[in-house]
Structure 1
């Protein structure tokens, strides 16, 4: 696939989910860098309160404020926002009721924490609402301010928004929570807010991407998540397969090693010729590692076939050893661009 091919033309909200340990936040950040390439402006949103984005970009903990964290290839910018449910609630109260001061008083008494604890869906409403607001937001010039002008034709503030979403196990519930709220609140600001959020989430401009690794449990959870998200009527994007390692042997040798057919004696002779001591003992240890490697490659091929059955674009990202730094994120972003995912 050439870099000119784009699987998600017209998509502006990219929701990234995955099982814990698959590198979900890493690939969300890499996707944001890929989408920002060529002079675009992208917002990367975190909703789990882990400050994972700040750690990846080696910057101070993110406040409830949009800040630039990186420059992409070609001069584009990635901004980041760590959404806090309490701060989002204050925005909500001010937007619909003009009650920011009252909301601040409620937070001092712990009412907000109490409300989101007894009604967990309320927290998801606030988090998804902030992300979709960023998708809809349009630029306003000084001339626009104070004047009643139609800004529908104004450019969007962000060319795309990438949402580092909760894990796959609860992604469908997280994204569909506003539909449930809309069903409970028949009229009023809450219903209007829920409708606007779901209008964005259900639109062709939104896609849910799944991160996995080539292991049985993460792949099964990925496939289950795709089925659940499809069931509630949301758009599926791509499958990003992380931490892919290249085989160390040609196919024939791998097939033989997987069946424990390793010529240990020939291996020992080669090691001895290379001047290594204890060649026989070392050859025995290496034979065991070769068998393990070959069986892992075979298992990965089997689960890769299962992913292909989902009939979604798959993008394979290499394993980067050691601590992941900004150049590593740019490398992953480049791989995504090369495979048409930006």
Structure 2
């Protein structure tokens, strides 16, 4: 069963919202989930309508099943201080380096180091145990970088392990990769039923698989139900203008005479119907593209009133009903 769920997606697909809903969905009775942000956007605080998250694990919600949801915004500088203390016992010397700006300098000139620190902190939360040997968190959900750079972000420890052949850095990088490439991890991608996000998702899955990173599933977000059945879609595509005009006339909308209300309504209505047909047919094509990946693909509804707290719980309910990719039962 997967315990680390990495959520990525093209910008604008709602990956932070999906990650938050997933954390709620996995917070079953008695279970604890940790939702981690690594991009410094405070997106989790926004979707849960709470204050900015500090560099500490804070309880922010209760799941639909009664479990607990904690959240953490990982800061690369603070993570580096933790790392220096853990492996080199620098303590006050590490804080002095921060005051001198050395840590900020190091993470700026070596972007890969920043990713190593962020993934390392997340994997530490996955591995952390209680005194009885059980995991502190049943599931850890990472609101990860976008699809375009998710493979490099997750695979950076492989590069570091290759550069540092021995020592604690090498060992730490290898430990992180053992988690990221194990069945404990599932990388989920979020998409919309639109051509560009779906194509980026297809490319992202190919890159993840080539890097031997475990892909979990595809969350299809912001799905609108079709307003017309298949027969009605075909008729709308044909543009049956006379039939529509007569129907308006029978409904008492001013008759079908030229210039009447019914006559003026026909063309705008048919145009809207044709636009709807185009959208539905495009979505059907994109569903086929996603199905070709051979992965679970839960669909999440479009939230008309926005992704507020109530909306998050609705999405969490949808996820629980359809099942979380990589999690049994």
TM interval, shorter chain, is over 0.9
Residue 237, structure 1, aligned to residue 228, structure 2: no
Q: Give the Å deviation of 1:272.
A: 3.9
Task: Indicate if the aligned counterparts of 1:244 and 1:316 stay in contact, CA closer than 8 A.
Answer: yes
Residue 225, structure 1, aligned to residue 201, structure 2: no
TM-score, scaled relative to structure 1: 0.90
- From 156, 170, 183, give the equivalent of 2:135: 156
Residue 11 to residue 113, structure 1, CA distance change in 2 (3 Å) = same
Residue 175, structure 1, aligned to residue 139, structure 2: no
Q: Give the Å deviation of 1:271.
A: 5.8
SS of alignment partner, residue 137 of structure 2: coil
Q: Give the Å deviation of 1:253.
A: 1.5
Task: Indicate if the aligned counterparts of 1:271 and 1:279 stay in contact, CA closer than 8 A.
Answer: no
Residue 17, structure 1, aligned to residue 4, structure 2: no
Trace 1:293-332 onto structure 2 (pairs within 5 A). 293-332=276-315
Residue 266, structure 1, aligned to residue 266, structure 2: no
In structure 2, what is the equivalent of residue 121 of structure 1?
112
Residue 154 to residue 296, structure 1, CA distance change in 2 (3 Å) = same
- Mapped partners of 1:335, 1:28: distance in 2: 13
- Unaligned runs of at least 5 residues, structure 1: 1-9, 141-152
Task: Indicate if the aligned counterparts of 2:253 and 2:262 stay in contact, CA closer than 8 A.
Answer: no
Aligned length: 320
Cα RMSD for the two superposed structures: 1.7
SS of alignment partner, residue 5 of structure 2: strand
Residue 261 to residue 273, structure 1, CA distance change in 2 (3 Å) = closer
**CA deviation map 1:300-328 (0-9, x unaligned):** 00011010000001100000012321111
Q: More deviation in 202-211 or 112-121?
A: 112-121
SS of alignment partner, residue 298 of structure 2: strand
- Mapped partners of 1:248, 1:270: distance in 2: 23
**CA deviation map 1:116-149 (0-9, x unaligned):** 2211111100000000000000013xxxxxxxxx
- Mapped partners of 1:29, 1:234: distance in 2: 22
Q: More deviation in 277-286 or 176-185?
A: 277-286
- From 39, 50, 54, give the equivalent of 1:59: 50
SS of alignment partner, residue 187 of structure 2: strand
- Mapped partners of 2:29, 2:140: distance in 1: 16
In structure 1, what is the equivalent of residue 78 of structure 2?
87
Residue 36, structure 1, aligned to residue 27, structure 2: yes
- From 174, 190, 199, give the equivalent of 1:195: 174
TM-score, scaled relative to structure 2: 0.93
Task: Indicate if the aligned counterparts of 1:271 and 1:283 stay in contact, CA closer than 8 A.
Answer: no
